[in-house]
Amino acid sequence: MTWLIVPGTLLLASLLFLLFKRRPPALCPRCRKPGLQTALRIPAPGAKGKSYWSYHRCPACAAKLRCKDDEWTDAPDEEWDRMNLPK
């Protein structure tokens, strides 16, 4: 199984690298503290990979947030559950 783990780790490492290279440490749009966690990132329906919707939660203020086209809104609990995101 080692042959699977090595490319998997490399892929994960490069994904993380891209993520951190493109985005400075994420600040929570509510409390402005760093450490915002990304729970999910999905291509926006109908946008063909150009834009993404993402779901985030802030460990500092426990906000559940949604980012669509760079616009931050609160993610309703019902939507959070529907997307099967960690509580």
Which residue number, 18 or 61, has a Cβ lying nearer to Zn ion? 61
Binding mask 7-46 for Zn ion (x = CB under 5 A): ---------------------x-xx---------------
Sheet holding 37-43, edge to edge: 37-43, 52-57, 64-68, 71-74
Q: Which of 11, 13, 16, 60 binds Zn ion (CB under 5 A)?
A: 60
Residues found near Zn ion in the complex (CB under 5 A): 28, 30-31, 58, 60-61, 63
